[in-house]
């Protein structure tokens, strides 16, 4: 149904960073294995995955705070496995921001310039320029950094990272500690910053929302490996397996087994599903059918779907922009989503007919 | 939130704390009274108050030598202790290394040790090395006990030190020396100050170690003790009280310095 | 950070100066003590003679040296128990009651450590002696005057309790501060009585600190001598006093060393046992 790596039809820029078969082994466990990835110049790549999937280890190896046990990391063709962080043209924005609490906003921003021995007057000019770029008032220059709000500190950390014009910016879950509204604002600003500066952004998060909103491409990691790389749309619509599908939103999963009477029998729902097996599952007798709630439709009169089920509505949730129904089919609970503008009415206990098209579903190995 | 019983208990606890504090400062007050009595021998109630013995103390050459010795020892101890302890504290709390747990326990041993026995043991050692005990060997002796204490004091601050700040500095391009100068040292400076204060005051008031390792050189505590045993004069409580007042002044000055620096930074 | 395998780790490099210093200043002197302890009595032939007579003299039931051990250990135990009771409410107050004043109150308790203990103990003499403050006060109130309190074992104990209070108090406070407040609230909410909360929640969680306080107090009191000399007169001879006599008047360094070695062994084994039960990182660093 889909490959692990899909190339988009847009213009492909040469890779700025390349990882080839990178492993990172610690004494008692393997953090990362078999990572091969091209990171393109100027793209916004997000690495997502659950905790422990190896994302932070990856980031540390790119930043120079850790080195791979085997494999190669190259920057524009040059091998950088053991190049220390201070010599790499990368800047890392830490999860805790790592702002120097004993220095002012200006001193924090100027730090990378100071260690590069830029004269004081020039440093100040650049710092003020960065304050403007990050939309912080100029008088914050001498303000103590710990007296700024959470969002302001984020901007100071960004300004500091941009100060010495690095080629690659690395972000370690920078927005995870912020409240929802602030997060949304900063997501848009980060995206704008990416567009206006043209730098390569490598962003780590466990939040799929952030990934979807900001990225050019997403790499999904699990258990130390990359499971899928692609644009947000591709990953959402054509997930490589049920793990990826589930990671990016709620799904309905039906375990089915091949029925000699024809089709695939779902024991939970008591229904028979009809579909063609994808190539890589050609000889399977069991499979998983994964359907997103928004592709599970209420069958209106005159409509017809590849597969249909009957069930009883037992719960309704308002999710803001859409409404979700829980429908009991057999012994399992199926999620059905309709937009808020849906004109119909459904009471608890009502019998409904729901259906989906195979083209909107993912068939994965059991 | 608090109920009756709890509030009553808390009241009793507060009374207890006050009572104990009063008892703690009782002998110190008695000492001060004894120093203000005009007569040579202490009788209470004091018949005549006078600063006579204080003047005699301040004028005494012998006492000036003592003060000089104690000051020299304490200053040297402070300087050396702070340097050794700073790195010792980093090894204690910041870096993860193979022998760290053992190191932590070994470091504490000189603290859980009777100082008089340590002094005598050092005397044996100095004797074996052929060194004459003097105020310099006293410095060495003080350090054996004080360095672990100061290491602990600084280590407590190091625990709350955020090591990722050093990583960030490295990522931004700083080399080791720049990281040390711009990040590590400034952030640990308050801990170093506390350590220095402890080192100075503990060395200043130390008796058991000085007794055995200072040789002929006398320090304030040594002199006080010898006069307590034989040849008591009110100069003893006078010097004792002056020493106490000196410690208060030092603490107060450092405290004010810290407070004013904090206020300066907040105003910025 | 990427490690280059040839260099020593940063931790080892930082620890070396201190370790080297302690090797020269602590381990070496102790070695000398061991050497002298096994040397020929009354001689200075350290490491060149071997004899166990020092130990037999020390532990000889017919002699008086074992009594010093008994006095020192008993007084130390009493002092430790008394201080545990005295200091616990104060430690509780410092960690739970005083809030932002607790730093100031802590300074008040720590401050006496910076005054030489001889000065403090002599202050007690001036309070308790005939003609002293207590005597004068009582006479002023029309009473007879103070009884002969000084120069007794009881007063020595008082002196020990007085001097070693901070050493019990601060580790205890540290231990109590390790008990998260919401655990107590949760236990109360689940219906536990105050006593139960103390026994089941506070005490076990504060135990590392309490243990260090008990250990430190005992170890320091068993090796103390100033209180017995200044307040106790001739009524109590502690082990360390005997050690001092052996090293000075009696000119019997081997005997002194043997006594010291026994003392060090008692203290050392207790210390290492207690420290092995404690995670110092959690206690001091809260992690």
| Segment B209-251, tens digit of pLDDT | 998 898 888 888 888 888 887 878 888 888 888 888 888 888 8
Nearest CA in chain C to A63: C1
Position C1 scores a pLDDT of: 43
- The verdict on residue C54 lying in a domain is yes
User: What is this model's ipTM?
Assistant: 0.85
pTM here? Answer: 0.81
Please give the pLDDT value at position B267: 62
Stretches where chain A sits below pLDDT 70 are: 1-13
Question: Per the domain annotation, does C263 fall within a domain?
Answer: yes
A91 in reach of chain B (CB within 8 A) = yes
The pairing of beta strand A90-93 with beta strand A168-172? parallel
pLDDT on residue C11? 87
Interchain proximity C11–B167, CB inside 8 Å: no
pLDDT at position C156 is 92
Contact A112 B173 (CB under 8 A): yes
Task: Please tell me the predicted confidence (pLDDT) of residue B2.
Answer: 57
Q: C217-263 pLDDT, tens per residue?
A: 999 999 888 888 888 888 888 999 999 888 888 888 888 899 999 99
Assigned domain for C2 exists: no
Whether C5 maps to a domain, the answer reads no
| Distance set, CA B194 to CA A4, A171, B149 (Å) | 58, 37, 11
Asked, for residue B264, whether it belongs to a domain, the answer is no
What local confidence, expressed as pLDDT, does residue B266 receive? 64
Q: What is the C-alpha to C-alpha distance for residues B116 and C227, in angstroms, rounded to an integer?
A: 13
Average pLDDT over residues C201-218: 90
Cα-flanking dihedrals φ and ψ of residue A6, to 5°?
-110, 130
pLDDT in tens, C49-87: 787 888 888 788 777 888 888 899 999 999 999 999 999
Q: Does residue B44 carry a pLDDT above 80?
A: no
C12 lies in some domain: no
Closest by Cα among C10, C3, C176, C156 to C88: C176
d(CA B24, CA A114): 53
The reply to whether B17 falls in a domain is no
Residues of B in contact with C109 (CB under 8 A): 21, 24
Neighbours of chain A (3+ CB pairs under 8 A): B, C
Q: Which of B32-41, B181-190, B252-261 has the highest mean pLDDT?
A: B181-190
Region C1-28: what's the mean pLDDT?
A: 80
- Strand A78-79 and strand A225-230: the pairing is unpaired
* Residue C190: inside a domain: yes
- Chains in contact with chain B (at least 3 beta-carbon pairs closer than 8 A): A, C
CATH number of the domain to which B163 belongs: 1.10.3720.10
Given CB atoms, is A160 within the 8 Å cutoff of chain B?
yes
Residue B99 lies in a domain: yes
Residue B115 lies in a domain: yes
- On whether residue B169 sits in a domain, the answer given is yes
Question: Do residues A41 and A14 touch, judged by C-beta distance below 8 A?
Answer: yes
Residue B257 pLDDT > 60: yes
- Asked if C95 and C102 touch (Cβ cutoff 8 Å), the reply is yes
| pLDDT (mean) for C110-135 | 86
pLDDT at B63 over 50: yes
Backbone angles phi, psi at A328, to 5 degrees: -90, 120
User: Would you call A82 an interface residue with chain C, using a CB distance cutoff of 8 Å?
Assistant: yes
If pLDDT is split at 50, 70 and 90, which confidence band does C149 have?
confident
- Please, what is the angle between helix C239-247 and helix B115-129, to 10°? 20
Show me where the domains of chain A are located: 15-246, 250-365
Residues 6+ apart with CB under 8 A from A10: none
With CA atoms as reference, report the closest residue to A200 among A62, A43, A75, A91. A43
- Which residue, A10, A170, A13, A8, is CA-closest to A76? A13
Is residue B64 helix, strand or coil? helix
Q: Which domain holds residue C171?
A: 17-285
Torsion of the alpha carbons at C213, C75, B115 and B74, rounded to the nearest 10: 70
Q: Compute the average pLDDT of residues B89-104.
A: 90
B28 occurs within a structural domain: no
Residue where the block lists tokens 């307590």: B228
Q: Can you give the CATH number for the domain in which C275 is found? A: 1.10.3720.10
- pLDDT recorded at residue C183: 83
- Residues of chain C with pLDDT > 70, as a percent, come to 97
Chain C positions touching A65 (Cβ under 8 A) are 1-2
List the CATH code of the domain at A250-365.
2.40.50.140
Nearest chain A residue to C2 by CA: give it.
Answer: A66
A146 in reach of chain B (CB within 8 A): no
Quickly count: other Cβ atoms within 10 Å of residue C99's Cβ: 7
Could you give the angle at which helices C117-128 and B235-267 cross, rounded to 10 degrees?
A: 130
Counted domains in chain B: 1
What pLDDT shows up at residue A13?
Answer: 66
Distance CA(B191)–CA(C69), nearest Å, equals: 40
Distance from CA of B259 to the nearest CA of A (A): 16
**Is C86–B20 a contact, with Cβ atoms under 8 angstroms apart?**
yes
Considering only CA atoms, which of C75, C27, C23, C46 is closest in space to residue C258? C46
Which tens digit of pLDDT belongs to each residue from C155-170? Answer: 999 999 999 999 999 9
Residues of chain A in contact with residue C2, where contact means CB-CB under 8 angstroms, are 64-67, 82, 84
B197 touches chain A (CB under 8 A): no
* B266 touches A at CB < 8 Å: yes
Note down the domain range covering B76: 62-232
Q: What are phi and psi of C9, to 5 degrees?
A: -65, 160
Q: Assess A213–C contact: CB distance below 8 Å, yes or no.
A: no
Round the average pLDDT of chain B to a whole number and report it. Answer: 88
One fold for both A15-246 and A250-365?
no
Q: How far apart are CA B100 and CA B88, in angstroms?
A: 11
Smallest Cα distance from C5 to chain A, Å:
12
Per CATH, the number for A15-246 is 3.40.50.300
Specify the pLDDT at position A80. 92
Is residue C145 assigned to a domain? yes
Q: What is the pLDDT of residues A137-183, one digit of tens each?
A: 999 999 999 889 988 999 999 999 999 999 999 999 988 888 888 88
Contacts of B13 in chain C (CB under 8 A): 89-90, 92-93, 97
């Amino acid at each position: 149904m889909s490959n692990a790596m899909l190339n988009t039809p847009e213009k492909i820029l040469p890779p700025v960073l390349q990882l080839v078969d990178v492993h990172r082994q610690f004494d008692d466990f393997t953090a990362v294995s078999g990572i091969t990835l091209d990171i393109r110049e100027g793209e916004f790549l997000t690495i997502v995955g659950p905790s422990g999937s190896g994302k932070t280890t990856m980031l540390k190896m790119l930043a120079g705070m850790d080195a791979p046990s085997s494999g190669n990391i190259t920057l524009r063709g040059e091998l950088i496995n053991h190049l220390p962080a201070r010599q790499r043209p990368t800047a890392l924005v830490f999860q805790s921001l790592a702002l120097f609490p004993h220095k002012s906003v200006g001193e924090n921003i100027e730090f990378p310039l100071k260690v590069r021995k830029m004269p004081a007057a020039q440093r100040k000019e650049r710092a003020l320029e960065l304050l403007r770029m990050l939309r912080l008032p100029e008088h914050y220059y001498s303000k103590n950094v710990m007296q700024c709000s959470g969002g302001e500190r984020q901007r100071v950390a960004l300004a500091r990272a941009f100060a010495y014009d690095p080629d690659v910016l690395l972000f370690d879950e920078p927005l995870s500690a912020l409240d929802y509204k602030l997060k949304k604002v900063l997501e848009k600003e980060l995206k704008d910053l990416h567009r206006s500066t043209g730098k390569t952004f490598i962003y780590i998060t466990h939040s799929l929302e952030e990934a979807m909103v900001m990225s050019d491409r997403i790499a999904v990691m699990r258990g130390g490996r990359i499971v899928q790389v692609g644009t947000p749309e591709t990953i959402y619509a054509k997930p490589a397996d049920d793990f990826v599908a589930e990671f990016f939103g709620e799904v309905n999963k039906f375990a089915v087994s091949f029925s000699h009477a024809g089709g695939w029998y779902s024991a939970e729902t008591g229904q028979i599903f009809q579909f063609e097996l994808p190539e890589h599952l050609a000889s399977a007798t069991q499979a998983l059918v994964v359907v997103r709630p928004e592709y599970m439709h209420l069958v209106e009169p005159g409509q017809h779907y590849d597969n249909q089920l009957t069930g009883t509505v037992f719960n309704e949730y308002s999710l803001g922009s859409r409404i979700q129904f829980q429908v009991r089919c057999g012994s399992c609970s199926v999620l059905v989503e309709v937009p808020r503008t849906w004109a119909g009415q459904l009471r608890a206990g009502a019998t409904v007919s729901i259906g989906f098209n195979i083209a909107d579903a993912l068939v994965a190995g059991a | 939130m608090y109920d009756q019983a709890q509030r009553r208990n808390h009241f009793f606890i507060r009374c207890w704390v006050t009572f104990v504090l009063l008892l703690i400062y009782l002998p110190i007050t008695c000492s001060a009274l004894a120093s203000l009595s005009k007569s040579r021998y202490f009788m209470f109630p004091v018949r005549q108050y006078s600063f006579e013995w204080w003047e005699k103390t301040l004028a005494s050459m012998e006492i000036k030598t003592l003060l000089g010795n104690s000051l020299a020892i304490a200053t040297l101890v402070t300087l050396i202790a702070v340097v050794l302890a700073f790195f010792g504290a980093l090894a204690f709390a910041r870096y993860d290394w193979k022998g760290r747990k053992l190191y932590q326990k070994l470091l504490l041993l000189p603290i859980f040790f009777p100082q008089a026995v340590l002094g005598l043991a050092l005397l044996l050692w100095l004797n074996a090395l052929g060194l004459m005990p003097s105020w310099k060997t006293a410095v060495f002796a003080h350090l054996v006990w004080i360095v672990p204490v100061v290491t602990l004091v600084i280590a407590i601050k190091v625990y709350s030190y955020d090591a990722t700040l050093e990583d960030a500095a490295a990522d931004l391009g700083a080399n080791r020396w720049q990281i040390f100068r711009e990040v590590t040292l400034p952030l640990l400076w308050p801990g170093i100050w506390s350590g220095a204060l402890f080192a100075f005051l503990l060395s200043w008031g130390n008796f058991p170690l000085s007794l055995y390792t200072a040789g002929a050189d006398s320090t304030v505590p040594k002199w006080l003790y010898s006069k307590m045993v034989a040849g008591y004069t009110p100069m003893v409580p006078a010097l004792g009280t002056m020493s106490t007042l000196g410690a208060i002044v030092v603490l107060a000055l450092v405290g004010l310095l810290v407070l004013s620096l904090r206020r300066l930074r907040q105003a910025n | 950070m990427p490690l280059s395998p040839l260099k020593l780790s940063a931790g080892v490099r930082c620890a070396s100066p201190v370790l080297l210093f302690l090797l020269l200043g602590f381990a070496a002197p102790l070695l000398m003590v061991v050497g002298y302890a096994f040397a020929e009595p009354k001689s200075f032939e350290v490491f060149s003679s071997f004899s166990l007579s020092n130990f037999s003299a020390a532990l000889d039931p017919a002699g008086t040296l074992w009594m010093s051990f008994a006095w020192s250990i008993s007084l130390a135990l009493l002092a430790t128990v008394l201080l545990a009771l005295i200091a616990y409410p104060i430690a509780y107050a410092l960690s739970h009651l005083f809030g932002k004043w607790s730093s100031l109150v802590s300074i008040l308790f720590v401050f006496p450590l910076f005054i030489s203990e001889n000065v403090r103990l002599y202050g007690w003499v001036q309070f308790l002696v005939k003609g002293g403050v207590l005597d004068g006060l009582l006479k002023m109130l029309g009473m007879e005057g103070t009884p002969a309190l000084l120069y007794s074992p009881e007063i020595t104990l008082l002196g020990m309790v007085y001097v070693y209070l901070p050493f019990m108090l601060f580790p205890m406070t540290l231990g109590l501060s390790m008990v998260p407040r919401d655990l107590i609230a949760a236990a109360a909410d689940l219906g536990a009585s105050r006593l139960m909360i103390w026994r089941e929640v506070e005490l076990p969680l504060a135990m590392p600190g309490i243990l260090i306080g008990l250990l430190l107090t005992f170890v320091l009191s068993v090796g103390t001598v100033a209180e017995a000399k200044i307040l106790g007169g001739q009524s109590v001879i502690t082990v360390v006093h005997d050690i001092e006599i052996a090293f000075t008047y009696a000119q019997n360094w081997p005997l002194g060393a043997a006594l010291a070695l026994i003392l060090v062994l008692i203290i050392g084994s207790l210390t290492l046992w207690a420290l092995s039960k404690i995670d110092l990182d959690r206690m001091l660093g809260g992690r």
